Amino acid sequence: MDALSDIAAEFVAKSDGADEWQLFVFEQGPWEDVTRELLRFQERLYDCVDTVVDGQVAAKFPDSKGARVIIHVYCCDLPRREVSDFFRRFTNGIFRDGDYRTALERHEYVSDIAFAINFDHMQ
């Protein structure tokens, strides 16, 4: 079984010298149906947050428990404007949701979650 099979990211790493862990998510284009792909991408981001706040990351990587987590998204050949707009709305709104806000405030598995996005080879 893949070590990350229950974590919705391709790679997990500890930051150097900080109580911080990073989840890396890679999105490859081109996307033919942008709306459909954005919905899929949204579910993927929710899955990443779920694996952090529900403790799957801490179960696989015990030293990550209580640390800050950054979810890094790397995009290749994606429509930059549409993805950037969506990502900004998602990251600004996810912790306004009561369940996610409550899970983050409990600090049971994570002290904070941040997001970052990087684009390469844009259309």
For residue range 40-89, what is the model confidence (pLDDT) as tens digits? 999 999 999 999 999 999 999 999 999 999 999 999 999 999 999 999 99
Q: Taking the domains of the chain in order of start, what are their residue ranges?
A: 11-120
Q: Angle at which helices 80-93 and 34-53 pack, to 10 degrees?
A: 30
Nearest Cα to Cα of residue 70 among 123, 119, 24, 37: 24
Q: Average pLDDT in the 21-38 region?
A: 96
Starting at the earlier edge strand, list the strands of the sheet with 68-76: 11-14, 20-28, 68-76, 112-120
**Sign of the torsion angle spanned by Cα atoms 119, 30, 88, 21:** negative
pLDDT band at 5 (very low <50, low <70, confident <90, very high): low
CB–CB of 9/21 below 8 Å? no
6 falls in which pLDDT band (50, 70, 90)? low
**pLDDT at res. 17:** 75
> What is the average pLDDT score of the chain?
90
Is pLDDT above 70 for 4?
no
